């Protein structure tokens, strides 16, 4: 392709986050290949080429990577045959940020044991269980309320709060139905009654480690519905958060942007989890920063300098979700939403709706976070998903 550099990236996962990574890569002249488990995924609609494969199928993943020989393999979701990525990295392929990072964060056990047992970071108490009987024992140990999650899932799928011993079976069933890969193992976590929760976007690049201003967010059923930046924090809490983020990202290694999820409580900051890739709550950076989290990720991966990250304006994001399963739908009300000043909308273009699936995001920038949150709420209320 003319005008392009010789570099090629392959996105493993092509959702809304990957779509923005692809666009940022193309701005720097990089050739892009989008891969996912279904056709017409958001990033496929903007990439130079695309493939549909089961990314949990190691041999299929290897065959595709050997065929395309990308310079950078960029996992965008967790559910990938990461053992195959480890082998491919040994053979000389570049996995972003590292194959180890994608392997450890693929299931909650790997990253939780690394954070708590190896690095000594503060986390909620936890246990693992493979059967309903084991789950009952684990809930006895942790106490209620507690949070039960499939070890492999994201965006809150299969997650539930178990409020009493009577609810253990309900939580088990929810985890079995919601897990992404066909594994039955679950994690049980002590319920942390946090004051607030944040994502600290942390960048490892040729320029060293740097941090974006903290992003506050609200989750419903384990999935984010609202985020804002900057989140109001004391200097001491920011230092504590950056210290945790430095330790976990140094341990995972490589170049790229990470989303470090932290709970802020009256007795300090707890590590929750980390995405070795852009974070959904970080979509707000598309209106708040000079470089969005997606632009930063690509720059870091390519080995380009990131001498500074500027927060241009406070801002907020609100998600638009579907509540029914349909193959034909429209996101309506965009025109009305844009009447709210300083609003932007991103419609992802997912080919089908599902209950709880995120279809679009509304962004607002304002001189104060509170105003941005209020205006994002006003704008998002104009938007709805309509089924045709």
Ligand X SMILES: NCC(=O)N[C@@H]1O[C@H](COP(=O)([O-])[O-])[C@@H](O)[C@H]1O
Ligand Y SMILES: Nc1ncnc2c1ncn2[C@@H]1O[C@H](COP(=O)(O)OP(=O)(O)OP(=O)(O)O)[C@@H](O)[C@H]1O
Read off the tokens for 24: 């940022």
- Within 298-337, which residues bind ligand X (CB under 6 A)? none
What is the C-alpha to C-alpha distance for residues 197 and 212, in angstroms, rounded to an integer?
Answer: 15
Catalytic site residue from 281, 285, 317, 319: 281
Has 154 been annotated as catalytic? yes
Q: Does 156 bind ligand Y (CB under 6 A)?
A: yes
Taking CB under 6 A as the rule, does residue 282 contact ligand X? Answer: no
143: Cα separation from own chain's centroid: 29
- 79: exposed, middle or buried (C-beta count within 10 Å: 0-12, 13-18, 19+)? buried
By a kind-dependent CB cut-off of 5 to 8 A, residue 191 interacts, out of ligand Y, Mg ion, ligand X, none, with: ligand Y
Distance, in Å, from the CA atom of 13 to the CA atom of 280, rounded to the nearest integer, reads 14
What residue has token string 């269980």? 129
In this chain, which stretch among 15-23, 147-155, 206-214, 315-323 interacts with ligand Y, using CB under 6 A?
Answer: 147-155
211 binds, among Mg ion, ligand X, ligand Y, none (CB under 5 to 8 A by kind): none
155 annotated ligand binder: yes
| Residue (1 or 193) nearer to ligand Y, CB | 193
Q: Among residues 71, 240, 242, 273, which one is catalytic?
A: 273
In 3-state terms, the chain is what percent helix, strand and coil (to 5)?
35, 30, 35
**Residue closer to ligand Y, measured from CB, 16 or 197:** 197
Of ligand Y, ligand X, Mg ion, none, which one sits near residue 64, judging by CB under 5 to 8 A according to partner kind? Answer: none
Q: 3-class DSSP state for residue 120?
A: coil
Q: Which does 77 bind (CB under 5 to 8 A by kind): Mg ion, ligand X, ligand Y, none?
A: ligand X
CA-to-CA dists, residue 181 to 16, 18, 79, 275, angstroms: 21, 20, 7, 18
User: Would you count residue 202 as binding ligand Y (CB under 6 A)?
Assistant: no
358 carries an active-site annotation: yes
Residue 24 is a binding residue for ligand X (CB under 6 A): no
153 binds ligand Y (CB under 6 A): yes
- Annotated active-site residue 116? The verdict is no
Q: How far apart are CA 135 and CA 305, in angstroms?
A: 47
E strand or H helix that includes residue 24: helix 16-27
- 313 near ligand Y, rule: CB under 6 A: no
CB atoms closer than 10 angstroms to residue 124:
20
Residue 197, contacted partner among Mg ion, ligand Y, ligand X, none, CB below 5-8 A by kind: ligand Y
Which of 171, 261, 282, 315 is catalytic? The answer is 261
Binding range to ligand X, per CB under 6 A, among 8-16, 67-75, 263-271, 314-322: 8-16
Alpha-carbon distances of 314 from 53, 213, 231, 365, rounded to whole Å: 39, 10, 9, 6
Active site residue 325: no
Q: Is 301 annotated as a binding residue?
A: no
Strand partners, 118: none
112 by DSSP, 3-state: which? helix
Whether residue 102 lies in the annotated active site: no
Q: Is 293 in the site for ligand X (CB under 6 A)?
A: no
Residue 346 or 371 with smaller CB distance to ligand X: 346
Pure H helices in 209-317: 235-252, 285-288, 293-302
Residue 12 — φ and ψ, nearest 5°? -100, 95
> In angstroms, what is the minimal distance from the CB of 279 to Mg ion?
8
Strands 186-190 and 126-129: antiparallel
- Collapsed DSSP state (helix, strand, coil) of residue 182: coil
Find which of ligand X, Mg ion, ligand Y, none residue 147 binds, CB within 5 to 8 Å per kind: ligand Y
**Chain-centroid distance, C-alpha 107:** 14
Please say which residue, 219 or 313, places its beta carbon nearer to ligand Y: 219
- Spell 357-367 as b/e; 16+ CB within 10 A means b: bbbbbbbbbbe
Give the annotated binding-site residues. 16-17, 76, 108, 149, 154-159, 189-192, 197, 261, 273, 280, 350, 357-358
Annotated binding-site ranges for Mg(2+): 261, 273
User: Which residues in this chain contact ligand X in the complex, by CB under 6 A?
Assistant: 13, 15-18, 76-77, 154-155, 280, 350, 357-358
Tell me the catalytic residues.
154, 156, 261, 273, 280-281, 358
Give contact residues for ligand Y (rule: CB under 6 A): 124, 147, 149, 153-156, 159, 189-192, 197, 219, 222-223, 261, 272-273, 280
Cite the annotated binding site for ATP by residue number. 108, 149, 154-159, 189-192, 197
């Amino acid at each position: 392709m003319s005008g392009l550099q010789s570099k090629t990236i392959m996105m493993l996962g092509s959702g809304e986050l990957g779509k923005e990574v692809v666009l940022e890569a193309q701005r720097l002249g990089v050739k892009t290949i989008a891969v996912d488990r279904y056709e017409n995924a958001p990033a496929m609609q903007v990439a130079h080429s695309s493939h549909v494969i089961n990314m949990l199928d190691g041999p299929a993943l290897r065959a595709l990577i050997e065929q395309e020989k990308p310079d950078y393999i960029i996992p965008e979701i967790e559910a990938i045959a990461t053992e195959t990525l480890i082998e491919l990295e040994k053979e000389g392929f570049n996995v972003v940020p590292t194959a180890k990072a994608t392997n450890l964060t693929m299931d909650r056990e790997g990253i939780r044991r690394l954070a708590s047992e190896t690095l000594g970071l503060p986390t909620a108490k936890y246990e693992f269980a493979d059967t309903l009987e084991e789950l009952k024992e684990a809930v006895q140990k942790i106490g209620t309320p507690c949070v039960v999650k499939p070890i492999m899932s994201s965006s809150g799928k299969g997650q539930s709060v178990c409020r009493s011993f009577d609810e253990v079976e309900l939580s088990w069933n929810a985890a079995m139905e919601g897990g992404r890969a066909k594994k039955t193992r679950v994690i049980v976590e002590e319920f942390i009654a946090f004051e607030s929760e944040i994502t600290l976007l942390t960048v490892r690049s040729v320029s060293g480690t740097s941090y974006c201003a903290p992003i506050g967010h609200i989750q419903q059923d384990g999935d984010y519905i609202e985020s804002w930046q900057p989140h109001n924090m004391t200097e001491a809490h920011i230092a504590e958060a950056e210290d945790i983020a430095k330790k976990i990202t140094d341990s995972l290694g490589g170049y790229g942007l990470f989303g470090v999820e932290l709970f802020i409580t009256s007795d300090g900051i707890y590590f929750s989890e980390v995405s070795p890739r852009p974070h959904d709550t970080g979509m707000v950076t598309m209106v708040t920063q000079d470089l969005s989290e997606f632009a930063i990720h690509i720059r870091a991966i390519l080995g380009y300098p990131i001498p500074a990250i500027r927060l241009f304006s406070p801002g907020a994001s609100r998600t638009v979700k579907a509540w029914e399963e349909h193959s034909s739908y429209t996101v309506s009300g965009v025109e009305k939403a844009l009447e709210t000043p300083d609003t932007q909308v991103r419609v992802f273009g997912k080919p089908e709706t599902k209950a709880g699936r995120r279809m679009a995001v509304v962004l607002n920038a304002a001189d104060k976070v509170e105003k941005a949150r209020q205006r994002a709420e006003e704008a998002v209320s104009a938007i709805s998903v309509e089924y045709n």
